[in-house]
């Protein structure tokens, strides 16, 4: 099949073209979901093997601060969804304001999480304290990296604020939101 044939039939992404934004971001999103899923599965299995160690570690975490971060990230996701709606309506400047809001709340999430880490490290807790804290720091740290990457992606798409770019950036942002929503009760609350 020639390049011209491919162009006539679409961009060549097949069923991924049904998804909003650039299909490549969905390849990344599904890869990330698999990675986080395996990570959370490992945490769950380790917890079943060392229940006392995990219960003791979980009891020292600040679930209220993590709960506050859930509200911050969910609100950031809402701002990102409003940005997509504005971009689709052709209101680029409005879309930019919403993206700024989503990025600012993402920054607040990082600040709260770093404050939580500082408190934990100040108590002498670290990666090698116990299997619980090894997985806790790796999981939340990996997620925090994605929050940072998400802010960078939002900043890039904010410049032009055209529909496809905004859909692409916000799709990644919602994946970061989704992973935290699933991770929060497993790490902080489930007994």
- Contact positions toward another protein, by CB under 8 A? 15, 18-20, 30, 33, 37, 40-41, 44-45, 47-48, 51, 63-64, 67, 70-71, 74-75, 77-78, 80-82, 84-85, 167, 170-171, 174-175, 177-178, 181-182, 184-186, 189-191
For another protein, give the closer residue by CB, 145 or 189: 189
For another protein, give the closer residue by CB, 78 or 117: 78
Q: How far is the CB of 141 from another protein (least distance, A)?
A: 19
> Which residues fall within 8 angstroms of residue 125, CB to CB, at 6 or more apart?
60, 133
Positive/negative CA dihedral, 13, 15, 18, 24? negative
Q: How far is the CB of 138 from another protein (least distance, A)?
A: 16
Q: How far is the CB of 164 from another protein (least distance, A)?
A: 13
Q: How far is the CB of 160 from another protein (least distance, A)?
A: 20
For another protein, give the closer residue by CB, 5 or 18: 18
Helices and strands in the chain, H and E counts: 7, 0
> Which residues fall within 8 angstroms of residue 8, CB to CB, at 6 or more apart?
none
In the structure encoding, which two tokens stand for residue 177, read together? 């939101």
For another protein, give the closer residue by CB, 22 or 177: 177
Q: What are phi and psi of 114, to 5 degrees?
A: -65, -35
From CA 150, how far away is CA 160, in angstroms rounded?
17
Contact 99, 162 (CB under 8 A): no
Q: How far is the CB of 2 from another protein (least distance, A)?
A: 28
For another protein, give the closer residue by CB, 114 or 189: 189
């Amino acid at each position: 099949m020639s390049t011209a044939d491919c162009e006539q039939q679409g961009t060549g992404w097949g069923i991924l073209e049904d998804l909003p934004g650039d299909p490549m971001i969905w390849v990344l999103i599904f890869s990330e979901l698999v990675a986080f899923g395996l990570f959370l599965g490992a945490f769950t299995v380790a917890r079943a093997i060392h229940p006392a160690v995990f219960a003791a570690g979980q009891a020292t975490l600040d679930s209220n601060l993590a709960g506050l971060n859930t509200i911050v990230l969910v609100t950031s996701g809402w701002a990102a969804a409003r940005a997509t709606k504005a971009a689709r309506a052709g209101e680029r400047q409005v879309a930019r304001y919403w993206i700024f809001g989503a990025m600012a709340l993402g920054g607040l999430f990082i600040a709260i999480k770093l404050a939580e880490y500082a408190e934990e490290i100040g108590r002498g807790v670290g990666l090698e304290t116990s299997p619980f804290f090894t997985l806790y720091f790796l999981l939340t740290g990996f997620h925090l990296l994605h929050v940072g990457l998400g802010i960078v992606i939002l900043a890039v798409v904010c410049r032009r604020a055209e529909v496809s770019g905004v859909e692409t950036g916000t799709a990644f942002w919602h994946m970061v939101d989704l992973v935290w929503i699933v991770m929060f009760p497993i790490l902080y609350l489930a007994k």
